[in-house]
Amino acid sequence: MALIKLDKEAYKFNLRQLALRAGGYENLICVFKDNAYGHGAQILAPIAREEGVGFIATRNEQEALALEAHFKDILILSHRPNGKEDPRFIYALNEPLNLKDFKKNTRIHLKIDTGMRRNGICLSNLKEFLDSFHRYDLKLEGIFTHFAAADEDESYHFQRQNFQKAKDLARNFNENLIFHSFNSVALSRDTPPKDELCRVGLLQFGYGDDGLKKVLSLYAHRLSQRTLQKGQSMGYDNAFVAQEKMRVGTYDLGYADGLFRYDARGGLRLADGREILGKMSMDSFSCEDGGEELCVFDDARIWAEFFHTISYEILVKLHPSIPRILI
Ligand SMILES: *Cc1c(COP(=O)(O)O)cnc(C)c1O
């Protein structure tokens, strides 16, 4: 049985570090979207709550409903208004044209486009928008923005300045609004403004800052073992050929579990340095025999580099059906 182990103490440690940097748990919005970045939202939610997290963000209502029992506030990031909004949740307003489609009294956090140009209302339209907002029976509770490249000085400072202008404007309109802009990269480089919450995803799981601890490790278990003679091939398309007699094992994790399909081009290594041999199958891979249990990775960056992507993508694709346990 393939298995994901989640390190409870590492997760708690990371949360405490984030709370310190954000100025307390009350200033944290933990982003739990997409099964908590593939980690397992249901398992991590009670730990976050026990530690003191009261506010999370999810992708959609389905995720919010599944976590609702644990948290006081849940912001839904990617909702398309349909008139059926749930009064227990807060909804991101990504498109001002859709304001009319929300159910009355829906709690809203307005996204400001400060330069990413993906979602939200343009800063130049904000005043007009706020002036006319009272026409809709909606509750505006917060204002936020998202950085396109918090690790690039020019882009980051440009967006921060724009968000400051948005805050100044919005405060005139309603002094009880809450603000948030800091994502993981911003929080790892900078101290957040005192009047903001931090909306943090990846840092929770130990990536993006060397002072934090990795939470997730992925394991596979042996399905079978055999001896290959020199010259014998193994797996699809006979892509691996033994150069000498060797003992190999086949393990129960494949690309159906959300891993990229390794095509035997060479160089993809497990946590202990062992190389995957031949092409990855849908439900299994093979390598030099490593016993009953092998750690596939405890640091997704190795797989991210190999497949020319980011750790987010390696983690989030881990299939929800892989069993997850706390260690
Ligand atoms: C995913 C997401 C975050 C969290 O980003 P990290 O880089 O993981 O911290 C914050 N805000 C929004 C709008 C997001 O979509």
Residue 66's Cβ-count burial label (10 Å; 0-12, 13-18, 19+) is middle
Rg, C-alpha atoms of the chain: 23
| Helix, coil or strand: residue 133 | helix
Side-chain half-sphere of 35: how many Cα atoms within 13 Å? 16
188 lines ligand 1 (CB under 6 A): no
Mean predicted confidence (pLDDT) in 116-124: 96
Give yes or no for a contact between 60 and 85, defined as CB atoms under 8 angstroms apart.
no
Helices (H), the chain: 8-22, 33-37, 41-51, 61-67, 126-132, 153-173, 184-189, 301-306, 311-316
The answer on pLDDT for 110 being more than 90 is yes
- Report CA(34)–ligand 1 centroid distance (Å): 11
Instruction: Summarize the chain as % helix, strand, coil (round to 5).
Output: 35, 25, 40
Q: How far is the CA of 197 from the centre of ligand 1 (A)?
A: 13
List, in sequence order, every residue forming a beta bridge with 74; answer none if it has no partner: 56
**Closest residue by Cα to residue 197 from 43, 24, 16, 41:** 24
Is there an atom of ligand 1 within 6 Å of 184 CB? yes
Task: Provide the pLDDT confidence category of residue 251 given band limits of 50, 70 and 90.
Answer: very high
Read off the DSSP letter of residue 96. Answer: G
Query: 281 C-alpha vs ligand 1 centroid, how far in Å?
Result: 32
Exposure class string for 284-296: b at 16+ Cβ within 10 A, else e = bbbbebbeeebbb
pLDDT for 7-60, tens place per residue? Answer: 999 999 999 999 999 999 999 999 999 999 999 999 999 999 999 999 999 999
Whole-prediction pTM:
0.97
Q: What is the pLDDT of residue 1?
A: 83
Rounded to a whole number of angstroms, the distance between the first and last alpha carbons of the chain is 17
For 61-79, how does the pLDDT look when each residue is reduced to its tens digit (9 = 90+)?
Answer: 999 999 999 999 999 999 9
pLDDT over 90 for what percent of the chain? Answer: 99
Ligand 1 binding pocket includes 31 (Cβ within 6 Å): yes
Task: List the residue whose alpha carbon is closest to atom 4 of ligand 1.
Answer: 201
- List, for residues 205-224, the tens digit of each pLDDT value: 999 999 999 999 999 999 99
pLDDT tens for each residue of 235-246: 999 999 999 999
